[in-house]
A = this chain, B = another copy of it.
C-alpha cells in the first residue's frame, strides 16, 4: 500500500477505460476482467477522483451503467464520459441534423435531436447495422451535401467480445472517407477535447498529474 501511494504522489484523478479494461462485452452481458471490480472499489475508497472515459457507442450511458452494476462495479451515469452525449452537444452548437448510422442500443441518446432533412452523417459502432444498404445511404447523403460533414464516434479498429474480435467503427469511417473524399471528425478518444471534457466532469485540470 505504501509503494502504491508513493507512485501516485501528486496524482489527483484517474481516468478509466471500460470495455477491455473493466470487462469484456459479449453475450449475456459480458464478463468482468479479473481484479477490476476490486480495483475500482479501492480507487473509490482512496482520495483520488475517478471518471470512466469510454468510446462505447453501442449502448446509452444508462444501459452501460446497468450492465456494469450487474457485474458488481460501483459506478453511476454521471461518472461516465461517452461520445454520444458529446456528439449531441456538437450537433446542437452547429445546427447539424444527422443521419444516424448507429446501433439501436444508443439511439435513445439522440431522442431530442432534429433529424429532419439531414445535413450530416453520424457514424458509430453500429454492429449488424453496418449493412450495405445503410452504408450506401450514408454515402449518398454525404455525396449530395455541398459541405459534407462526417462525425465518427471513435475510430477504433476492432474490439474484443467473448466470441472473438469484432470490427469497430474505424474501418467503416475509413470506408466513407475514401468513398466521399472527406475527412471525418472524431468524437471520443483519442481527441484532446474529449479527454478534457472527462477532466471537467471530475473537476481536475490537464496540467495536474493524471494517470
Contacts and interface: CB of A to CB of B under 8 A. Distances in A.
A167 B132 contact: yes
B131 A167 contact: no
A179 B175 contact: no
Instruction: Please provide the 5 A-B residue pairs with the shortest distance between their CB atoms, ordered closest to farther.
Output: A171-B175, A171-B179, A175-B175, A174-B178, A130-B132
Interface of A: 126-133, 135-136, 139-140, 143, 157-158, 164-168, 170-172, 174-179, 181
Given A129-B132, A171-B175, 19 more contacts: A126-B132, A127-B132, A128-B131, A128-B133, A130-B131, A135-B171, A136-B166, A139-B158, A140-B165, A143-B158, A157-B179, A157-B181, A158-B179, A170-B178, A171-B174, A172-B175, A174-B174, A174-B175, A174-B177
A135 B174 CA distance: 14
B132 A128 contact: yes
